[in-house]
Amino acid sequence: MKTKIFLTVSAIALASLPAAAAAQHQNHSAPPAEQPAAEPAADHGQMDHSQMDHGQPAAEQPAPAPAPSEPAPAAEQPAMDHGQMDQSQMNHSQPAAEQPQAGQMDHSQMDHGQMDHSQMAGGHDMAGHKGALGPYPMNREASGTAWQPDLSEHMGVMRQAGDWMLMGHGVLNVVGDHQSGRRGDDKLFLSGMLMGMAQRPIGNGTVQFKGMLSPDPLMGKSGYPLLLASGETANGVDLLIDRQHPHDFFMELSASVSQNIGTNSSVFLYGGLPGEPAFGPPAFMHREAIMDSPEAPISHHWLDSTHISFGVLTAGLVLDKAKIEISRFNGREPDQYRWNIETAPLDSTAVRLSYNPTPSIALQGSWGYFKEPEQLEEGDQRRFSASALWADQIAPEWKAAATLAWGRKGIQDHDEWLYDDAFVAEGSLKHRGWTFFGRGEITENRELVEDEHHGEAYRVGKASIGAVRDFRIAENVSFGAGALVSVNFVPGDLKPLYGSSNPVGAMGFVRLKLD
């Protein structure tokens, strides 16, 4: 019955998104209002840009005198500031006859400095839109209230419905998983997410509603095989070890409201059931450097396991490139029942400071006190996190992204605190339909040996690399096929359990994306 409900809800949502895209396409193709005749377009392919002063105001450029045989020039059009345009993305050799007629596009409303022209063919990038939590580009917003670089991808199917801006995005993976060694296993499973967002102006700010659903519960309570991963439970009795738990069906149901208090400043409130508190970098499935991998990180419970917290309230202050925020939330991790919504007191606290010094970099540092987060283990936790995210276009049609992150988990053991660290490096390179990605991790894990309560912390590591090729099959739908391989690094004390110092893993997958 739950499977039928999930498939019905997903089918309705998936069917509505292409319709939204079609409506948006019709809006773009509506006939423009009649404008005065424009002068013939210049052939940029014949222009010597090295001799042009693009930064010079248009009013100071000398106007060429019309030829005697030509009619009087048309009314002067607003000049374009070429100094703000990304010349590397323009097709200068396109004949003038193929250029759009004057009046078809209102360039005065476009943020050319933020537009990623290489992404326009496949979907709608959000670079030209403002964020929900402050007066900055929407691309800066990732999961929850976390920030990413302004130059990050933020794709989705969009349409306008009165004052409301609507957006949808989704990905569905079918994954074949093989993990070798004595603790390994094989499995075929579904994973992914379906997201929806609605926002509109309110007062001097924005109100936004977000929802995110996951097919993960369909894979079963024990999740999928993943060597060196640990956390949560399948039956309320045993800890999941060497397996990645499924995420809950409801990944986010949240609302936020912001008000601008200056040209570049704002205050905001965010609440979710579930939602994501102000701790850590964006959740791994939202980080551009690794979002195309179907594999969860083994560092998940050090950095971003709070991305599904059943009860979150966050207040924040944005001051231009900086943001400070504090959350009260339910610190208990989700239980083994993946289809429901849980409730509990908001008994935990997190504080995060974020800073984006340039459009390509996002930095954050955060601290949290978690009230008995583990269902099977007593004790509170203190967690610390710091991360740097980078994203930029490094050449025409080449996009790169990277993540460096550190997390520390302190476990209360009677009157003593035991601290364990995790380190992560991630990267991706995109060229046309290809995406190449990789990740390296080190964790200090006390949960890999059963029947040990806060036992020895074993330092383990993992490196993975993969690629996926996407093919556009409809205006806002793509089909992709990819694979990854991973090598795990196990200390000598654990070698008898795993059967090798370097057990390996592999995944092959196909996917559908709505963007």
| pLDDT classification of 6: cutoffs 50, 70, 90 | very low
% of the chain exceeding 70 in pLDDT: 75
Distances (CA, A) of 160 to 105, 167, 170: 17, 9, 19
Domain ranges of the chain: 2-17+134-514
Q: Give the list of residues 6+ apart from residue 478 with CB closer than 8 angstroms, or none.
A: 122, 470, 471, 472, 512, 513, 515
What is the distance between the alpha carbons of residues 390 and 475, in angstroms, rounded to a whole number? 29
Lowest mean pLDDT among 25-29, 249-253, 383-387, 463-467: 25-29
Lowest mean pLDDT among 65-79, 202-216, 489-503: 65-79
What is the distance between the alpha carbons of residues 253 and 273, in angstroms, rounded to a whole number? 6
Within 10 angstroms of residue 52's Cβ, the number of other Cβ atoms is 12
Answer yes or no: is pLDDT of 501 > 60: yes
Domain 2-17+134-514: homologous superfamily in CATH: Porin (2.40.160.10)
**Which residue pairs, CB below 8 angstroms and at least 24 apart, start in 21-26?**
21/157, 21/158, 21/159, 21/475, 21/476, 22/475, 23/159, 24/124, 24/157, 24/158, 24/159, 24/160, 25/475
User: 191 near 175, Cβ under 8 Å?
Assistant: yes
Q: Which two tokens stand for residue 388?
A: 């740097």
- What digits encode the pLDDT tens for the residues 93-118? 444 444 444 334 444 444 443 444 33
Q: Which two tokens stand for residue 295?
A: 């594999």
The residue behind tokens 């476009």 is: 110
pLDDT value of position 62: 44
Within 10 angstroms of residue 57's Cβ, the number of other Cβ atoms is 10
- What digits encode the pLDDT tens for the residues 39-66? 444 444 444 443 444 444 444 444 444 4
pTM, whole model, 2 decimals? 0.76
pLDDT value of position 124: 59
Which H helix or E strand runs over 497?
Answer: helix 495-498
User: 32 near 104, Cβ under 8 Å?
Assistant: yes
| pLDDT classification of 127: cutoffs 50, 70, 90 | low
How far does the chain reach from its first CA to its final CA, in angstroms?
29
User: 269 near 257, Cβ under 8 Å?
Assistant: yes
Q: Which two tokens stand for residue 242?
A: 């060497």
Average pLDDT along the chain: 83
Q: Provide the strand spans (E) within 80-238.
A: 124-125, 155-161, 164-179, 186-202, 205-213, 224-233
- What digits encode the pLDDT tens for the residues 313-324? 999 999 999 999
Answer yes or no: is pLDDT of 417 > 80: yes
Distances (CA, A) of 64 to 60, 103, 295, 349: 12, 22, 60, 66
Distances (CA, A) of 431 to 2, 398, 425, 435, 509: 39, 5, 21, 7, 19
Q: Give the list of residues 6+ apart from residue 417 with CB closer than 8 angstroms, or none.
A: 382, 410, 411
DSSP character at residue 440: E
Instruction: Determine the average pLDDT of the residues in 394-406.
Output: 98
What is the distance between the alpha carbons of residues 98 and 430, in angstroms, rounded to a whole number? 29
Instruction: Determine the average pLDDT of the residues in 199-219.
Output: 97
What is the distance between the alpha carbons of residues 357 and 158, in angstroms, rounded to a whole number? 29
